[in-house]
Chain A
């Protein structure tokens, strides 16, 4: 029999960890209190939900041709916004990626701009562009563009930084400039990652473009808001179903393309 006694049960116990645990629990309780969370109140909403679902049936099929038009505009809005985001993000990489930037201060400034684009929610960008360019899909496309710059600027830069330094050094050693390194080494090497990121941005943009309509940025979202406001729940349900189909279709196509690109790589 061993004479060594077992270690204490709470051998990793530290007062600071305990304090963080208690603080986290207190924050959680305070949060539920602040939103006046009441499970019985939620259960009381059950019959109202059933009534709403009943009002959504039968779906408004005659409105489908008109809704498909709006859905198409929503999709095109996402395509335009993402494409503009890609076109603007690519040159930003030359300044934001550590291996390509001319100076750390330039990198800091460009990275800050990219972070700003990302941290402002797309709904806020949409509100701003609705004021600037008026109601309609252009405001939505510009909002998606800003959001895509924030997303793609970060991911394109990170993908550039992850590329093998050997070929980059070879181009520098033969007197190549930063632009030469970017165009001849980084861009072709990081292309699969760039394409994959751009497809993610596209999926994200399609989902966002639906919501943007709620604040007047055009597309199917505007139709959804009008239907809800006018209690036309059967039309709203049809819109939700069409949005679901669009998002799933875009995700499927995007997944297949991504698989083909990564597989080809």
Chain B
């Protein structure tokens, strides 16, 4: 995956990014760090073409461009990207199993869609249950997502992303909404499952120890550009904290 000359200009003419370049190799685990408001999440969304005013000459999976392409083609490319959001974004009234099975619907031709576990073929239900078991929630399969805790919901969201069998997993501060203990558990589980699937991983993290522990490489975003690109073990947490940490990082 190669992002080249990524730019993002807001409606008021303000440029957030101008000519950002970076590439990620297959199977690599990359953390994107930066202070609050540095544009870490926006960078990923813009690179994915999810922000209308963003432009890039880069190539995504298989050398396909992500910008200036039809909606149908973008959807086909996004099918191969598992996106884990800051907030789990599950369907609250749907069961955990149905939410996981939603991840499988994009694996098939649009003429065959699965929107509910009750209507899903047996092999998808089995696969969904296996993933729920791997995230430790098989016994909550028929609970509505609204009845799960924050940590449990985020684990279901991880299972949903893995159900896509993605080539690339993108996580936007996946544990930001969780308490430290649940966050650590979820991050550990998430990192292990992604590694088991041999997927490439890019995650945004506000928590520098996570970036150092779970990534092979770190990209630092500051003032609308990437001003750090190094191996995860090349700099200490203190060094990174001085440049990219926020004042409220003490409680991290």
Contact = CB atoms under 8 A, between A and B. Distances in A.
Nearest to B114: A184
Contact of B78 (A175, A188, A189, A191): A175
A134 interface: no
A148 B76 CA distance: 38
Main secondary structure of the interface of B (DSSP, over half): loop
Q: Size band of the B side of the interface? A: 20 to 34
Interface stretch (B80-88, B129-137, B193-201, B221-229): B80-88
Interface in A144-171: 164, 166-167, 169-171
A261 to B, nearest CB: 12
Nearest to A190: B93
B65 to A, nearest CB: 16
B147 to A, nearest CB: 12
A185 B79 CA distance: 17
Nearest to B71: A177
A173 interface: yes
A165 B76 CA distance: 21
Interface in A211-229: none
Given A173-B78, A174-B79, A184-B115, A167 B106 contact: no
Given A173-B50, A173-B78, A174-B78, A180 B89 contact: no
Given A179-B113, A183-B113, A189-B91, A170 B85 contact: yes
A146 B110 CA distance: 32
A188 B164 contact: no
B85 A166 contact: yes
A175 B79 contact: yes
B76 A188 contact: no
B32 interface: no
A176 interface: yes
Contacts of B77: 175
Contacts of A188: 91, 93-94, 116
A27 B89 CA distance: 54
Given A175-B106, A176-B105, A180-B105, A166 B89 contact: yes
Contact of A177 (B75, B92, B161): B75
A187 B103 CA distance: 17
Contacts of A166: 85, 87, 89
A200 B111 CA distance: 35
21 contacts: A164-B92, A166-B87, A166-B89, A167-B92, A170-B89, A170-B157, A173-B78, A173-B81, A174-B81, A174-B161, A175-B78, A175-B79, A176-B102, A183-B115, A184-B91, A184-B94, A184-B116, A185-B91, A188-B116, A189-B93, A191-B93
Given A167-B91, A187-B115, 10 more contacts: A166-B85, A167-B89, A170-B160, A174-B161, A175-B74, A175-B77, A179-B110, A179-B113, A183-B115, A184-B116
